[in-house]
Structure 1
Amino acid sequence: MAGGQAGLAAGGPDRGDAVGAASPGVRLGRGRRGHPGPAAGSGRRCHRPLAGAPLDPEVEGLVVFTSGSTGAPEACPKRLRQLFDEIDALEQAFSGASPGGTVIASVSAQHVYGLLFRVLWPLATGRSPQARSLVYLEDLAALLPDGERAVLIASPTHLSRLPVEAPAAATRVEHVFSSGAPLPDAAVPEALRVFGRAPVEVYGSTETGGVAWRRRDPGSPTCWQALPGVDWRIDDGQLAVRSPHLPTSDWTTGADRAVAVDGGFELRGRADRLVKIAEKRVSLQALETCLLQGGLLTALCLVMLDESRAQIGVVAVPSAEGWELLDREGRRALAEALRTQLLDVVERPSLPRRWRFLPELPRNPQGKSTQTRLQAEFDPRRPPVRTLARDGGKVELTLLVEPTLPQFEGHFPEHPVLPGVAQLDWALLFGRECFDIDGEFTGVEALKFQRVVVPGTRLTLTLEWQAGRLGFRYQSALGPHASGRVQFGEVPAA
């Protein structure tokens, strides 16, 4: 879940499961407060709870932070009753999700979605949580006991990168959960191909908790349906909710625009995305809509840049037509064509001035394009990325070594050459972003520089992550340029 965005996305019931059915096994919350136990009839051996004082449901037992996708992360205290009530609602809505099965996750338990779906819900209902994280779907069989059914807790990022050949163990995944951001439309048919079912997405946020769910199976309704215990209404075009997952019993109006439809509601983007540029109010939502309708882009994110004056940056994925224009006339021509499109919705002084074109949007493991990560794309030391391909633990990027990169300054005036330390820095930078490496840099081994890199080179950077080592290799049409392995160690305890 993340503040202000469609956050919880879960994989849930078959269409025949009754949303709002009685919860058979949740033991967190009212009654035996704070003592989780297996679901009745789960077939698992019950043990006597450890002695201890009952938990006070009104205690603020957890503080979570919003993701920063719409600004700086903000602290969000949670009372225990909010967590207990949300687990109750999940079991009522998704009790048919492999009771007694194994819960396997690709998301961290440090994320509130991971905490709820990967840890608390399984412990409260008799499902077995797998402690190890699923990094690649190909590793599913190693984490799933023989004969066990599985519930997969995944993120949109993970579901957007499913392998071409599905592993045999995928047939034992009976329910798929996804969270962290809206699930891309293209991920739905891929999930159907691999798992035989679409994920059930659950809409919500860090602040509101789970609000509603949907599952985009062929022929099924695609509108959002409220989770048990959640009331909703449309206030002046914006979604308002009232639920036990909130710290108050009052109606709370969020920042998402919505319309009521038969069976639920549909989301229509955010309503609070107004910024002031050159003394004029600018709707970021209107800019995004206009740019996507022009046919030159397939996806984009807007970011406020931390500079001397307020300025909008655009991180975008061009369409085939957009890439063709970029390759034929350059980045400046594509940016100017997009700026011209925007003159219908914004005055010229307020137009975006900074553009970055990528093969895919940068996202964290929860599928969020955070403001911090988007701002990093405008670091002048980053080379433009033209293509990006993934295959399990291997990533291949095409980098454009432009003459304007600051790494060439002073190295050397008459015959500029890209420094070896810059090549190592890029391997570390893209390695951490592509593989979410937490460890601390401890050294380099087998480092070789075989051929200089000059301005204008189109470099292929191949990265491989295995057992705490990041292998890298630079090549171009001229042949190999550099290679080596970067070692990482555990981050020391504070």
Structure 2
Amino acid sequence: MTAMTEQHFLSAPWQWASHLPQVATSGACQRDHADFCRDVARWQQAPLERGQDAILVDPDPWSFTCALLACWHRGVRVILPNDGQPDTLAALAKDGARLIGAQGWTPPSDTVVGTPAWGTLSAESVAIDIFTSGSSGTPQRLAKTFRQLAHETCAFSNTFPLDYGVVVSQVSLHHIYGLSAALLRALTEGLPFSLTPCRFPEDVHHYLHATSVAALVSSPAQLERLPEALEANDRPPQQVFSSGAPLSQNAAVHARRQLGCTITEIYGSSETGAIAWRDRTVDSHWQPFDDTDVRADGELLCLRSPRLATPGWVTHADRVRFIDARRFELLGRADRIVKVGGKRISLEALERTLAQQPNVLKAHCVQPRSANDRIAAIVQLTPQAVPHTSAERKALIQALRDGLQDAFETIALPRYFRFVEHWPVNAQGKLTRATIMRLFQDLENRDVPRWLGCTEAPNDICHITYEIPEHLRALEGHFPGLPIVPGVALVHWALQEARTRWPDTLATGALERLKFPTPVRPGMRITLTLEHTATRLAFTIRSQGGQHASGRLRLEETAHD
């Protein structure tokens, strides 16, 4: 196979792909090159002034792709936000950028257009602005040139060549990993990309059942949730990639068994792009990509790569130990040493010891501002170990602290614990600073319950887990000696979550069929389920003990400008 080069990418081979029967497919439905050219041309009608940037937010892979390429070939710089929250988009629009996509301008369906204007792509021109995940601080805005994107795409194509089939992405195309490893790779190699989003295990099954999958671009959080058995007639993908966080040995073995192929982990960051890869079931050490030079700067990783913004050596924040001239082992972040009471404490050492305790699957330790400099721990438990009452929770915390006592001083032990059933990551597979702040928000705000994560299901259904803190303000006066959460607070939480999740479609309406069969008590672990349609929002609140509340909001249409 001929190696892919920067020039091949910059020639925009997708514009010449008229011989390909499919540009995108879902198995049952296809889009060909004529559809592709028509829709790129339609998106090129976007009302963008000369020099104006475009903010692109669209979860639909086809619309996202056509809009992205339409902008690029018009010479428009594209901003890809981490999320589509109104505050995020409003802040970006202050600089004069125009919002396009699902929450902004979209081409009218009856637009009649000719062929796209395939403008040239210049290596040093900025193609996109992306944002770091914010897992170690405030998200940072990064500019990526076409040269950097070209070499990011080439790294995957040249190291892991594909023969045929669709490239399916479970990760957001707004992130450098999903964009390059899935979408741009498919476009430059002449392979179809997935026409529909692939967020859930059911979507993976659909693609494996309906068509040949060349590559599944995924993350640890999604691979860990693969069902115990896929259908017997599902065809294994040729390749599976995981990035965003370390994939545990157990998860790698599980995913390999379920999918029937090797799981290749990619190590890198938004700043550096892809750095190295490994197959965890074969070797725990990382192998750099061929175009990447690595060395040690003390304990820190130092690298040089065409995917970096500068041509020289860059020192990374990860600590490493080299096995030989090229392969290395990751030892953790250098910036995860904190001080508590004048003592230096390694958060990663705490995490490793916590993860060795019975029924603990994963742990992450932090020092949130709201914790008064004490350490807090986010702990993922096996289902049978999840506490559902205040007494169970206190007993579990004591057992975990006892398990740490021999290795750490008392002041180093986590003071606050958040027990989760699913690791609370974003679309890029990252545990972000914003999520961490929300997990511990109740320490500062007595009006909110203890939020423990949200899992989504198909058809606009989501499940939010809470614990009821004993210090919750809503418990005051309800009732002395037997505190319960008032029904008005439960309804408020449901509507607040819904308005955050569906800001553009949820309007005010009439509340109906409200029921509160059993009270919610302090210390309980409850699940709020929201089901959203065009005409109504239904909610239920349940715990291990049964149902506590239900109701629905009849939605009224909002007039749009």
Normalising by structure 2, what TM-score? 0.69
Q: Give the drift of 1:196.
A: 0.5
| Separation (CA, whole Å) in 2 of partners of 1:454 and 1:175 | 47
* Alpha carbons 2:390, 2:523 under 8 Å: kept: no
Could you tell me how far 1:330 is from its partner in structure 2?
4.8
Structure 2 residue aligned with 1:90: 156
Pick one of 177, 202, 214 that aligns with 2:266.
Answer: 202
- Equivalent position amino acid for 1:87 in 2: T
Q: Deviations over 1:342-396 (max 9, x none)?
A: 5667665565432223334322232211122122112335556899999877777
Aligned match of 2:202 in 138, 145, 149? 138
Q: In the comparison of the two structures, how many residue pairs are matched?
A: 464
Q: Is the 8 A contact 1:241 1:251 kept in 2?
A: yes
Equivalence for 1:12: none
Q: Secondary structure at the match of 2:121?
A: coil
Whether 1:482 and 2:549 are equivalent positions in the alignment is yes
Distance 2:126 2:340 in 1: 39
* SS of equivalent to 1:30: helix
User: Which amino acid in structure 2 is aligned with residue 195 of structure 1?
Assistant: L
Query: Take 1:129 and 1:299, find their aligned partners in 2: how far apart are those partners?
Result: 33
Q: Which of these residues, 279, 291, 295, is aligned with residue 233 of structure 1?
A: 295
Distance 1:490 1:269 in 2: 51
Q: Is the 8 A contact 1:471 1:483 kept in 2?
A: yes
Distance 1:237 1:342, change over 3 A: same
CA contact (8 A) 2:518 2:547 kept: no
Q: 1:451 aligns with which of 517, 524, 539?
A: 517
Note the alpha carbon deviations across 1:173-218, whole angstroms, 9 max, x for none: 222222222223332233223210132111111111101111234x
1:59 to 106, 109, 125: 125
2:310 to 223, 243, 248: 248
| Contact kept in structure 2, 1:286 and 1:345, CA below 8 Å | no
CA distance in 2, matches of 1:475, 1:342: 33
Q: 1:7 maps to what in 2?
A: none
1:75 lines up with 2:137 in the alignment: no
Equivalences for 1:457-468 in 2 at 5 Å? 458=524, 461=527, 463=529, 465=531
Contact 1:156/1:367 (8 A) holds in 2:
yes
CA contact (8 A) 2:15 2:118 kept: no
CA contact (8 A) 2:214 2:238 kept: yes
AA partner of residue 33 (structure 1): L
1:35 alignment partner, one of 6, 9, 12: 12
Match of 2:354 in 1: 291
- Unpaired runs of 5+ residues, structure 2, are 23-32, 38-72, 74-115
Distance in 2 (alpha carbons) for counterparts of 1:207 and 1:401 = 39
| Structure-1 separation of matches of 2:149 and 2:133 | 19
**Quick check: 1:472 aligned with 2:472?**
no
Query: Which residue of the other structure, out of 485, 488, 491, is the alignment partner of 1:424?
Result: 491
Of 273, 276, 291, the match for 2:336? 273
Change (3 A) 1:319 1:246: same
Structure 1 residues 237, 216: closer, same or farther in 2, change over 3 A?
Answer: same
In structure 2, C-alpha distance between the alignment counterparts of 1:65 and 1:446, rounded to whole Å: 41
Q: Is 1:438–1:491's contact at 8 Å kept on the other side of the alignment?
A: no
- 1:425/1:158 Cα in 2 relative to 1: closer, same or farther (>3 Å)? farther
**CA spacing shift, 1:386–1:227, aligned 2, 3 Å:** closer
- Paired amino acid for 2:321: V
Partners of 1:309 and 1:231 lie apart in 2 by 42
Aligned to 2:440: 378
- CA-to-partner distance for each residue in 1:285-335, whole Å, 9 max, x for gaps? 2332343345574421122322384343222235799769x9796544544
Amino acid of the structure 2 residue aligned with 1:74? Q
Please point out which of 428, 436, 445 is paired with 1:366. 428
* Structure 2 residue 152 is matched with structure 1 residue 175: no
State the distance in 1 between where 2:202 and 2:337 align. Answer: 43
Q: CA contact under 8 A between 1:156 and 1:181: conserved in structure 2?
A: yes
Aligned CA-pair RMSD: 4.2
**1:442–1:487 contact (8 Å) kept in structure 2:** no
Secondary structure, aligned partner of 2:7? coil
Partner Cα separation in structure 2 for residue 87 and residue 44 of structure 1: 23
CA distance in 2, matches of 1:493, 1:365: 29
Measured in 2, the distance between the counterparts of 1:76 and 1:117 equals 18
Greater percentage in helix: 2
Q: Which amino acid aligns with 1:59?
A: S
Structure 1: any 5+ residue segments left out of the alignment? 1-20
Aligned with 1:373: secondary structure?
helix
Q: Please say if 1:264 is aligned against 2:241.
A: no
Q: Are the equivalent residues in 1 in contact too, given 2:498–2:506 (CA < 8 A)?
A: no
Letter aligned with residue 223 of structure 1 = H
Q: Distance in 2 between matches of 1:291 and 1:337?
A: 11
Residue 447 of structure 1 and its aligned partner are, at CA, apart by: 3.6
Secondary structure in 2 matching 1:104: strand
Instruction: Say whether residues 1:441 and 2:506 are aligned partners.
Output: yes
Q: Distance in 2 between matches of 1:487 and 1:140?
A: 33
Q: TM-score, normalised on structure 1?
A: 0.78
Does the C-alpha gap of structure 1 residues 409 and 246 become closer, same or farther in structure 2, counting only changes over 3 Å?
Answer: same
Q: Does 1:185 align with 2:162?
A: no
Identity in percent = 33
Change (3 A) 1:137 1:309: closer
Change over 3 Å in CA distance of 1:129–1:312 after alignment to 2? same
For the residue of structure 2 that corresponds to 1:163, the secondary structure is coil
Instruction: Name the structure, 1 or 2, with higher relative contact order (CA <8 Å, separation 6+).
Output: 1
Letter paired with 2:506: F
